[in-house]
Chains A and B, each alone.
Chain A
Amino acid sequence: MKISTNWLKEYIPVNHTVEEMANKISLTGIESGPVKLGEELTGLVVGHITSVEPHPDSDHLKVCKVDVGEAEDIQIVCGAPNVAADQYVIVAMHGAHLPNGVRIKRGKLRGQESNGMICGLDEVGVPAKYMPEEFENGIYVFDEPQKPGEAVYDLLGLKDQMIDIDITPNRADTLGMRGAAWEIGATYDEKPSFTEPKLINDKVKEFSDIDVAVENKDLVPDYLIRELKDVKVGKSPLWMQRRLWNQNIRPVNSVIDAANYVMIEYGQPIQAYDLDKLESNQLTVKFAENGDKLNLSDNDKVLDQNDLVVSSGNQIIGLAGIISSDVAKVDENTTNVLLEAGVFDGAHVRKTAQRHDLRNDASNRFEKGVDNGIVTEALTRATQLVDQTDSVKEISETIIGSYIEAKPTIIKGSVSHINHLMGLELTTEKMVGILERLGFNVEVDGDNLTVSVPTRRWDMSIEADLVEEVNRIYGYANLPNTLPAGMETRGGYSPKRELNNKLRNVLLGAGMDEVINYSLLNKKEVDDFNAIDTEYTKLLHPMTEDHEYLRSSLIPGLVRNIAYNQARKNADISIFEQARIFDRPTGQDRPNEVEYISGAVSGNVVSDSWNTKAQKVDFYYVKGLVEELLNNVNADSDFTFVATDEYSNLHPGQTAKILANEQVIGLVGKLHPNYQKAHSIDDTFVFELNVDLLFNLNKKSVQAQSAPKYPSISRDLAILVDKTVENGQIIADIYNNGGKYLKDVNIFDVYEGKNIKPSHKSLGYHLEFLNPDDTLTDDEVEKAFSLVKDSLVQKFNVEIR
């Protein structure tokens, strides 16, 4: 809401620029910014049109003589349809500056001299949609005579200076000028003064042509009506109109304007109804029936049983706390008026306004709360404003539909505890002084405070609220900087996070860049890689189809990254991500969140250079990354790679499951050529590992051993074997038969093709034997080596070469 300083001056002295005030209010209370209307405007004065003649050479232009307070009237050519003699108007003189850089210059219009311009309100800065409808297509005409030549800015509020406050939901007390005056007053230690609204006594009578009932008093604690009889509906005075249009509210007529004005002044929304348009002499606040209609000028709304309405007979005359229907609208022919001031349940108002897309100034206030201590006064004030030009004959007493007397909130607190929570040592006197500045009543009993908080601060209920009030008004800038002084604590990561960090460092060390992807994927992406075969987890109301499902694999994100990069000529990509995947077992609503680490490598792993030859990524490169990760897990278990063709988007001949103690903990493999093609990416190898499973493996306990003192003996073994036999099988068999001194087995050659028996391959192994405690003899080694060879011949029908 924008707080006009001109208006604010009615309540408190204003001695600072709006910039200074906005800054100070931001630091002590509510985020604010300065607003200065019409800074660019110059040369705008009141003009009195003394004569209007037709333009000799134009059908629509008129030649006007205008008194602008100078010795002689000036001539202005004007094209507005509503221009007429004896009007008081806005004149932009020669040299005047208007909004948007428009400059007025003396000149000739179709041969007739024109010494300025007669202006409409929108031409001098009032937005067209907030100016009175009657001037929409023409010049603005003052209702009352004004002094020709006088500047128009103050008359029309064109240069109002304002503080735009952007409230948090708890500070709706400042959504009225009076509430804002309290807040700004507390900031500057100025107590605001207000005039209580008074009605003309002999007009107020005990009568009522209407029965008011509230069916849901729990949702409508206050519902008050005044009936105004024989009302002459006219235009509201200029001072009121200019304040309204500067609040972005269009002046309509003296009744509607008064209602709107009170909403700005008190923060209490007021509705007005034309009594004679009501279907019955009943006014009832109740829930609508399904299918009820609310007539609005632009479109009708179909209501349901969750909408709280104001009704008369079968007629819906308003959505409670939000908007009045057109059926009982007050217009210039209205003679009997009902003014309504109520308090409506915020949650209901919020839901209804949201459902019907009708959130407005009134609903906004009820949603956040209103001061139920001023409902009666606000209604009286609205009545007084309708009658300000003596345009009402009779006024009813307040007709009560529901009413609960509002009482101040009592908060108990202790000076020492409040100081404690702030980290300050304010004296009781100082603290009480601050609370009193806010308009709170304070009783002191030693260390104890009993604070009576007026109803306008309904956000206050507990001692912590007092801490905030005292601290902010005292000034956060005056707080010292300290650190919590409790018992020592040991900081650090969780063991699982430590493992994640370690694994990430392994991959960073291997030259892989770390990426972060979205957890929400589209349907196709989750279908593409559901290696863990989980139930999908889906958002109820996704924003877009692209982000609808929780990921069950990190690979789709990595593939997207590779496609993105390769489309931009970043051909060689080596990336990884460590994040969670979501695994939802059947029958469980909530997915398990599982830490994964996953990588993808595409293109060259060694690039072509003046001294190196390019080397493309292959299965074994990525397998090497995985093995190094597994080595760093420090797990006391055997990891095995088992060929698999069960993943549809992975290459059936170049993919392996990774097992730890028979349990699948991940996979490594090449993307399927079709899948690569569909994503326009080069040959890409991926892996993923379930870090949670790795974390749960038994840790290896490392017992240091000295480096061996005795030499090792090695043997090379070349075999010819059927192609289908895997290296893993051979190695396992060699270990099984190599005896206790077999230390290490390495494959150093794999060959198939020329000079090799068809469907066979030649493999070369290097075996290393070592006895850590003694010198090995050739005999011992030869014996073990023979056993190895015999077994291979027997089991795999190998040919020893």
Chain B
Amino acid sequence: MSLNDTLKNLRENGIDEAKRAQRLQELNDLRVNLLGKKGPITKALRGMKDVPAEERPEIGTLANNVKNDIQAAIEEKMDELNKAIVAKKLAEEKIDVTLPATKQVQGTKHILNQTIEDIEQFFIGLGYEVAGGYEVEEDHYNFERLNIPKNHPARDMQDTFYLSDELLMRTQTSAQEGRDMEAHDFTKGPLKMISPGVVYRRDDDDATHSHQFHQIEGLVVDKNISMADLKGTLDALCRHVFGPDREIRFRPSFFPFTEPSVEVDVSCFNCGGEGCRICKYTGWIEVLGAGLTHPNVLKMSGIDPNEYSGMAFGLGPERFAMLKYGVNDIRDFYLNDVRFLEQFKGVN
């Protein structure tokens, strides 16, 4: 057999063997055996000395091609086997993605605090400071400074937990108004604050009454505050809380510390104003009380009502949350059943 034929044979057999290999090891062995220094190709090339000189280059090229072709066949097969191995491994690793997750639980912020913070963020955006205030307050700030002297009939509107003749559990976050006005330096600009917090009334607890609940008081005092400013502010608030399509309306009311005083209704977010059970078929829902700060209240804080005017509003987070989420019993907020609490995860 000529060297030429020997090489061609080697190529044919080598490629054939590579194709038939089932394991990577076989291919490695094949490479070592066929292409190694002791392999048949190397061996065959030793017979080059018997080949006429003019044919040598041709044989040399052929020998290289045979090597390359076998090498390529081995690599191709190796690639094929590797792919099969990975595929098999992946198939084995398949899991049931519908099995439950390993829990990564965040806690749930109390829905009342979510409601309060939503409103706080709205007002912070409008440049309001969030103030604190005392839960145990003096009669002086809770009533007298709000134009509610002792024996004023308006004291009937709210029954009070007293600690002593002069100390009480605040019945309204408006109790903060006097303190904030006193503390404010009007040369540095207007007073714009909201004061969220807990208030107390001497009430029996039932589905709609609670001896403890939250309020957010808002107060702006500046040189040009008007009823229109109050309406615009509360209109924007109600759209923020209850949706962009809401409208508000003012109805005359009475609070001793504002004049004029209004109740504020928002158009029903459930029926859009057509009338339903939630709005008692009126299309409107009462959501807060407001007004222009009574001149006496300004005066008692050393502010000249001829130069300055103020607007004030008070709203109830419990009421907002009850309306917005259909909570029917105010006591649910204070029972803290985690199943109740956790349903509000991330609503605000």
**B-binding residues in A (CB < 8 A):** 26-31, 168-171, 346-347, 350-351, 367-368, 417, 420-424, 462-465, 467-468, 471-472, 476-477, 479-494, 496-497, 504, 507-520, 537-543, 547, 550, 561, 564-565, 568, 570, 573-576, 579-580, 582, 589-591, 593, 607, 609-612
Query: Which has the most chain A C-beta neighbours within 10 Å: B106, B112, B260?
Result: B260
Given contacts A488-B189, A539-B163, A580-B135, contact A481 B294 (CB under 8 A): no
**In the bound complex, do residue B102 and residue A514 qualify as a contact, i.e. CB atoms below 8 Å apart?**
no
Given contacts A168-B253, A511-B106, contact A520 B211 (CB under 8 A): yes
Given contacts A519-B198, A564-B337, A590-B167, contact A464 B294 (CB under 8 A): yes
Mask, B284-317, CB within 8 Å of A = 1, is: 0000000010110000000001100101000000
Partner of B334, one of A491, A507, A517, A540: A517
**In the bound complex, do residue A464 and residue B100 qualify as a contact, i.e. CB atoms below 8 Å apart?**
no
- Complex CA gap A180/B56 in Å reads 129
Whether, in the assembled complex, B232 has its beta carbon less than 8 Å from a beta carbon of chain A, the answer is yes
Give the segment of B81-89, B124-132, B270-278 that binds chain A.
B124-132
Residue of A nearest to B227 (CB): A422
- Complex CA gap A638/B131 in Å reads 31
Which residues in A have their C-beta under 8 angstroms from that of B97?
none
**In the bound complex, do residue A464 and residue B224 qualify as a contact, i.e. CB atoms below 8 Å apart?**
no
**In the bound complex, do residue A514 and residue B123 qualify as a contact, i.e. CB atoms below 8 Å apart?**
no
Partner of B106, one of A464, A508, A582: A508
**In the bound complex, do residue B130 and residue A31 qualify as a contact, i.e. CB atoms below 8 Å apart?**
no
- Complex CA gap A465/B291 in Å reads 12
What is the minimal beta-carbon distance from A412 to any residue of chain B, in angstroms?
12
Whether, in the assembled complex, B136 has its beta carbon less than 8 Å from a beta carbon of chain A, the answer is yes
Which residues in B have their C-beta under 8 angstroms from that of A463?
295
4 closest A-B pairs by CB? A423-B228, A423-B226, A168-B254, A468-B260
**In the bound complex, do residue B99 and residue A610 qualify as a contact, i.e. CB atoms below 8 Å apart?**
yes
Which residues in A have their C-beta under 8 angstroms from that of B189?
486-489
**In the bound complex, do residue B113 and residue A516 qualify as a contact, i.e. CB atoms below 8 Å apart?**
yes
Residue of B nearest to A504 (CB): B109
Whether, in the assembled complex, B190 has its beta carbon less than 8 Å from a beta carbon of chain A, the answer is yes
Whether, in the assembled complex, B144 has its beta carbon less than 8 Å from a beta carbon of chain A, the answer is no
Residue of A nearest to B250 (CB): A476
Partner of A565, one of B156, B225, B337: B337
Residue of B nearest to A561 (CB): B336
**In the bound complex, do residue A492 and residue B129 qualify as a contact, i.e. CB atoms below 8 Å apart?**
yes
**In the bound complex, do residue A488 and residue B337 qualify as a contact, i.e. CB atoms below 8 Å apart?**
no
- Complex CA gap A539/B108 in Å reads 33
Given contacts A490-B127, A540-B163, contact A573 B192 (CB under 8 A): no
**In the bound complex, do residue A488 and residue B235 qualify as a contact, i.e. CB atoms below 8 Å apart?**
no
Which residues in B have their C-beta under 8 angstroms from that of A472?
252, 260
Given contacts A420-B224, A422-B228, contact A564 B335 (CB under 8 A): yes
Which residues in B have their C-beta under 8 angstroms from that of A514?
107-110, 113, 341
- Would you give 21 A-B contacts (Cβ < 8 Å), ordered by A? A29-B252, A31-B251, A423-B228, A463-B295, A468-B252, A480-B232, A481-B231, A481-B232, A486-B189, A486-B190, A486-B224, A492-B129, A513-B336, A514-B108, A516-B110, A518-B211, A568-B337, A568-B339, A580-B135, A589-B164, A590-B136
Given contacts A516-B334, A516-B336, A537-B163, could you give 15 more A-B pairs where the C-beta distance is less than 8 Å?
A: A168-B254, A171-B254, A423-B229, A479-B231, A480-B231, A481-B235, A483-B233, A484-B220, A493-B130, A515-B336, A543-B204, A564-B337, A565-B336, A570-B338, A591-B136
Partner of A484, one of B129, B203, B222, B337: B222
Which B87-116 residues have C-beta < 8 A from chain A? Answer: 99-100, 102-103, 105-110, 112-113
- Complex CA gap A593/B224 in Å reads 36
**In the bound complex, do residue B105 and residue A511 qualify as a contact, i.e. CB atoms below 8 Å apart?**
yes
Whether, in the assembled complex, B169 has its beta carbon less than 8 Å from a beta carbon of chain A, the answer is yes
Whether, in the assembled complex, B76 has its beta carbon less than 8 Å from a beta carbon of chain A, the answer is no
Residue of B nearest to A351 (CB): B151
- Complex CA gap A170/B153 in Å reads 9
Given contacts A421-B227, A519-B212, contact A484 B292 (CB under 8 A): no
- Complex CA gap A754/B76 in Å reads 61
**In the bound complex, do residue B108 and residue A513 qualify as a contact, i.e. CB atoms below 8 Å apart?**
yes
Residue of B nearest to A512 (CB): B107
**In the bound complex, do residue B338 and residue A513 qualify as a contact, i.e. CB atoms below 8 Å apart?**
yes
Residue of A nearest to B157 (CB): A169
**In the bound complex, do residue A542 and residue B161 qualify as a contact, i.e. CB atoms below 8 Å apart?**
yes
What is the minimal beta-carbon distance from B191 to any residue of chain A, in angstroms?
9
- Complex CA gap A576/B338 in Å reads 12
**In the bound complex, do residue B336 and residue A541 qualify as a contact, i.e. CB atoms below 8 Å apart?**
no
What is the minimal beta-carbon distance from A546 to any residue of chain B, in angstroms?
9
Which residues in A have their C-beta under 8 angstroms from that of B222?
484, 486-487
Given contacts A507-B107, A515-B341, contact A467 B260 (CB under 8 A): yes
Which residues in A have their C-beta under 8 angstroms from that of B225?
484
Mask, B204-233, CB within 8 Å of A = 1, is: 100000011000000010111111110111
* Interface residues on chain B, number (Cβ under 8 Å): 89
Whether, in the assembled complex, B320 has its beta carbon less than 8 Å from a beta carbon of chain A, the answer is no
Which residues in B have their C-beta under 8 angstroms from that of A492?
124, 129-130
Which residues in A have their C-beta under 8 angstroms from that of B338?
513, 565, 570, 573, 575
**In the bound complex, do residue A471 and residue B260 qualify as a contact, i.e. CB atoms below 8 Å apart?**
yes
Mask, B311-348, CB within 8 Å of A = 1, is: 10000000000000000000001111111011000000
**In the bound complex, do residue B102 and residue A612 qualify as a contact, i.e. CB atoms below 8 Å apart?**
yes
Whether, in the assembled complex, B261 has its beta carbon less than 8 Å from a beta carbon of chain A, the answer is yes
Which residues in A have their C-beta under 8 angstroms from that of B227?
421-423, 467, 471, 476, 479
Residue of A nearest to B108 (CB): A513
**In the bound complex, do residue B236 and residue A593 qualify as a contact, i.e. CB atoms below 8 Å apart?**
no
What is the minimal beta-carbon distance from A156 to any residue of chain B, in angstroms?
30
- Complex CA gap A726/B334 in Å reads 41
- Complex CA gap A485/B220 in Å reads 11
**In the bound complex, do residue B251 and residue A589 qualify as a contact, i.e. CB atoms below 8 Å apart?**
no
**In the bound complex, do residue A543 and residue B211 qualify as a contact, i.e. CB atoms below 8 Å apart?**
yes
Which residues in B have their C-beta under 8 angstroms from that of A490?
127, 129
Partner of B260, one of A464, A512, A542: A464
Whether, in the assembled complex, B262 has its beta carbon less than 8 Å from a beta carbon of chain A, the answer is yes
**In the bound complex, do residue B107 and residue A169 qualify as a contact, i.e. CB atoms below 8 Å apart?**
no
What is the minimal beta-carbon distance from A413 to any residue of chain B, in angstroms?
11
**In the bound complex, do residue B336 and residue A27 qualify as a contact, i.e. CB atoms below 8 Å apart?**
no
Given contacts A517-B336, A519-B212, A520-B212, contact A611 B102 (CB under 8 A): yes
- Complex CA gap A62/B186 in Å reads 86
Residue of A nearest to B210 (CB): A518
Which residues in A have their C-beta under 8 angstroms from that of B192?
484, 489, 491
**In the bound complex, do residue B259 and residue A422 qualify as a contact, i.e. CB atoms below 8 Å apart?**
no
Which residues in B have their C-beta under 8 angstroms from that of A481?
228, 231-232, 235-236
Which residues in A have their C-beta under 8 angstroms from that of B140?
none
**In the bound complex, do residue B250 and residue A484 qualify as a contact, i.e. CB atoms below 8 Å apart?**
no
Given contacts A484-B225, A511-B106, A575-B336, contact A589 B163 (CB under 8 A): yes
Given contacts A421-B226, A561-B336, contact A484 B254 (CB under 8 A): no
**In the bound complex, do residue A483 and residue B336 qualify as a contact, i.e. CB atoms below 8 Å apart?**
no
Given contacts A486-B223, A540-B163, contact A519 B135 (CB under 8 A): yes
What is the minimal beta-carbon distance from A233 to any residue of chain B, in angstroms?
36
- Complex CA gap A654/B99 in Å reads 38
Partner of A489, one of B128, B167, B261, B339: B128
- Complex CA gap A22/B222 in Å reads 36
- Complex CA gap A464/B333 in Å reads 39
- Complex CA gap A579/B116 in Å reads 14
Whether, in the assembled complex, B242 has its beta carbon less than 8 Å from a beta carbon of chain A, the answer is no
Partner of A491, one of B123, B154, B203, B254: B123
Which residues in A have their C-beta under 8 angstroms from that of B143?
none
What is the minimal beta-carbon distance from A219 to any residue of chain B, in angstroms?
13
Residue of B nearest to A592 (CB): B136
- Complex CA gap A538/B163 in Å reads 6
**In the bound complex, do residue B203 and residue A543 qualify as a contact, i.e. CB atoms below 8 Å apart?**
yes
**In the bound complex, do residue B336 and residue A422 qualify as a contact, i.e. CB atoms below 8 Å apart?**
no
- Complex CA gap A652/B210 in Å reads 38
- Complex CA gap A27/B251 in Å reads 5
Which residues in A have their C-beta under 8 angstroms from that of B164?
540, 589
What is the minimal beta-carbon distance from A543 to any residue of chain B, in angstroms?
6
